[in-house]
Structure 1
Amino acid sequence: MADIILKADHLKKVFISGKKSMTAVDDVSFELERGECLGIVGESGSGKSTIAKMITHLEPVTDGQIFLKGKDITHVGGKSLRKTYQDIQMVFQMPMESFDPRCTLGDGIGESLRNMGINRTETRTRVENLLERCGLSKEYADRYPHQVSGGQCQRAAIARALAVSPEILICDEATSALDVTVQKQILELLIELKEKENLSFILICHDLALVQAFCDKVLVLYHGKTVEYGTPDDIINHPKMDYTKKLIDSVL
């Protein structure tokens, strides 16, 4: 029997501005098994990032439900929300913008650990270990975001996400701002984390080659709706919808 760690059931998100409304996500459902990677693809404005924000409670859900390990987390708050953030972490597209420029990378990575009551000495040790797990030497803990490259900063962002030992990592276009060589290095790091630590991933991406290399399932969105949902090979090699064919043709 499949071990479903995350389930989205008929998710809907409507943004309202004055008398106008815009449906960004419309009746989207999917399941994520433990240790699996789900790729969510589609053009800009298709609703990919909005789904990630609903899962992480950065945006409220208009309709539908989100289940984490069988528990409804759609509208949780307080201690339950803090527990959700321990289970689900997000890595963003622009790593340098996700760090406070006034603080070192080590301070940024260790913030969640300090918030959990871990003393500074233990936090420093854990931060250095996290950096090394993500391919950076411990000296990077004392560097500021502007003192490192985009790829190094993204490794530090992944280290920060791993600090609370999450079970799910959501990567929202986490490699799109990096050059091709660095993209490959970050992908190799994510694959290593997936294989060694049995992490589950949601990879929000427009690069179908990346999706095919890393993901077990793919959800294709168009104007907030699901147009295809299946394995990468089936969808890329045998697309059923014209939109998916155009998406594939655009990157070939």
Structure 2
Amino acid sequence: MTDIILKAEHLKKVFVSGKKSMTAVDDVSFELNRGECLGIVGESGSGKSTIAKMITHLESVTEGQVFLKGKDITHVKGKALREIYQEIQMVFQMPMESFDPRCTLGDGIGESLRNMGISRSETGSRVEKLLERCGLDREFADRYPHQVSGGQCQRAAIARALAVNPEILICDEATSALDVTVQKQILELLIELKQKEQLSFLLICHDLALVQAFCDKVLVLYHGKTVEYGTPDEIINHPKEDYTKRLIDSVL
């Protein structure tokens, strides 16, 4: 019996502007098992990030449901939503933009801990351990976002996401703004976290080569609809749809 930690059923998102409407996600379903990584791939505008935002309540769900460990979280608010953020955290594409430039990386990483009522001294100690866990020296706690490289800032962003001990990490194009060498280093960090700590991942990505290296299952989107859903080997070695074949040819 599989241990499903996250499940989406028939998700739909329609954006309305005046008399015009645009369907960004159309009847998408998937399951994420504990300790697995699901890659959601597709070109720009395919609906990948919109799905991530619906799961984390950055966008409302037009139709469908989202379940976390069997509980419907589609429309939760207030305290129930805050509790979800203890279990699901997100790492964004542009790490420097995700930190307040007026605050040190240590302040940014420790914010959620302070909000939980943890003392400043204990928060400082935990922040240093989180930085080391993500391959950064403790001194990075005192640096500002503009004083570090993109890769270092993304490591700090991952440390911040891990601060509340989530069970699911959603990485929304978390390596695409980095150069190839740094991409590889961040991917190795994510693989280590997955193997050692049984974290579950949702990897929003357009790079099938990256997905093949990291993911257990792949969902291919095109214009908001599911094109293919299966293991990386099934989809990359035996693609059924022309769109998937074009995606593969563009990166492999």
Do they superpose with TM above 0.5? yes
- Pairwise CA distance, 1:251: 1.3
1:178 aligned partner: 178
1:195 aligned partner: 195
Q: Provide, for residues 27-86 of structure 1, a one-character-per-residue CA deviation record: whole Å limited to 9, x for no partner.
A: 000000000000000000000000000000000000000000000000000111001001
1:146 aligned partner: 146
Structure 2 residue matching 1:250: 3-state secondary structure: helix
1:1-252 → structure 2 map (5 Å cutoff): 1-252=1-252
The runs of 5 or more residues in structure 2 that have no matched partner are none
Structure 2 residue matching 1:74: 3-state secondary structure: coil
Structure 1 residue matching 2:229: 3-state secondary structure: strand
- Pairwise CA distance, 1:219: 0.1
The one-letter amino acid of 2:230's match is G
Partners of 1:69 and 1:217 in 2: CA distance: 19
Partners of 1:251 and 1:209 in 2: CA distance: 7
- Pairwise CA distance, 1:205: 0.6
The one-letter amino acid of 1:46's match is S
State the identity %: 89
What RMSD in Å do the two structures reach over aligned CA positions?
Answer: 0.4
Partners of 1:139 and 1:216 in 2: CA distance: 35
Partners of 1:11 and 1:27 in 2: CA distance: 5
Partners of 1:60 and 1:204 in 2: CA distance: 18
Partners of 1:179 and 1:164 in 2: CA distance: 29
- Pairwise CA distance, 1:93: 0.2
The runs of 5 or more residues in structure 1 that have no matched partner are none
- Per the normalisation by structure 1, the TM-score is 1.00
Structure 2 residue matching 1:164: 3-state secondary structure: coil
Q: Provide, for residues 147-199 of structure 1, a one-character-per-residue CA deviation record: whole Å limited to 9, x for no partner.
A: 00000000000000000000000000000000111000000000000000000
- Pairwise CA distance, 1:250: 1.2
- Per the normalisation by structure 2, the TM-score is 1.00
